[in-house]
Amino acid sequence: MIAIVLFGKPGAGKGTQAEFLKEKYNLTHISTGDVFRFNLKNGTELGNQAKVFIDKGELVPDEITINMLANEVANNMDKSGFLFDGFPRTIQQAEALEALLKEKNIDFVGTIGIDANDDILVARILERGKTSGRSDDQDEQKIRNRYTEYNEKTAPLINYYTEKNKYTAVDGIGSIAEVTERLAKVIDTLI
Ligand code: ADP
């Protein structure tokens, strides 16, 4: 089995692209944001723990997120591998992911970043907020806080993976199909 990580700031299109790529490469798509939202909707203990952080646009603490991710991986060992979206978002999560994949004998082929500039992204998120029902998409202050979290905690992962020779960036501006094609080209070189 293989594992690929999709990186990108909030609104970069990770979820949209993952929907296409998971079919093309027979991968289980794990979006930590989606798993959190599912738990919020269903009022689970995990959902209640995560709610305060998500509502402020802050990252959920690593321990909670890492445990959840490990459960998702353990319950989905039936495809050719995994496409992670929204995880890892901190160095500690990246270290936990590496250990988990090693333990499960999954080949971590690399991470791919979807690049786009902040102005375009904030506009996209506000637009999405009109229909997504996500409270964190509707308030500019919360959106801004997600960017601050990204810059402080997630952006260092780009260097972290570049040094390990595990990072490739693609241009995220263009049609959905164009971006899918750029991502697929990179994945084909990794697998
Ligand atoms: P976006 O990338 O648009 O911000 P996500 O759906 O990936 O949206 O995440 C929504 C929220 O869920 C985040 O703001 C954060 O509170 C929480 N979250 C998702 N993934 C993680 C993670 N790996 N670590 C901590 N918190 C996370």
For 11, the 3-state DSSP assignment is coil
Residues 85-114 have a mean pLDDT of 98
Report the DSSP beta bridge partners of residue 153: none
Q: Are 190 and 21 in contact (CB under 8 A)?
A: no
The confidence band for 118, taking pLDDT boundaries of 50, 70 and 90, is: confident
CA of 26 to the centre of ligand 1 (A): 24
pLDDT given at position 187 = 98
The count of other CB atoms within 10 Å of the CB of residue 117 is 10
The confidence band for 119, taking pLDDT boundaries of 50, 70 and 90, is: confident
Q: What is the pLDDT of residues 124-156, one digit of tens each?
A: 999 999 999 998 999 889 999 999 999 999 999
The total number of residues written for the chain in this structure: 191
Q: Tell me whether residue 144 is one of the annotated catalytic residues.
A: no
Ligand 1 atom at shortest distance from the alpha carbon of 137 = 3
Q: At what angle do helices 176-190 and 14-25 cross, to 10 degrees?
A: 50
CA of 95 to the centre of ligand 1 (A): 18
> Alpha-carbon Rg of the chain, whole angstroms?
16
Q: Which residues are CB-neighbours of 81 under 8 A, at least 6 positions away?
A: 1, 2, 3, 4, 25, 26, 27, 28, 106, 107
Q: How many CA atoms lie within 13 A of 49 on its CB side?
A: 13
Greatest extent of the chain over all pairs of C-alpha atoms, in Å: 42
In the numeric block, which tokens belong to residue 191? 């697998």
Residues 30-34 have a mean pLDDT of 98
Amino acid at 190: L
Ligand 1 pocket, CB under 6 A: 10-11, 32-33, 36, 53-54, 57-60, 65, 86-87, 89, 93, 136, 146
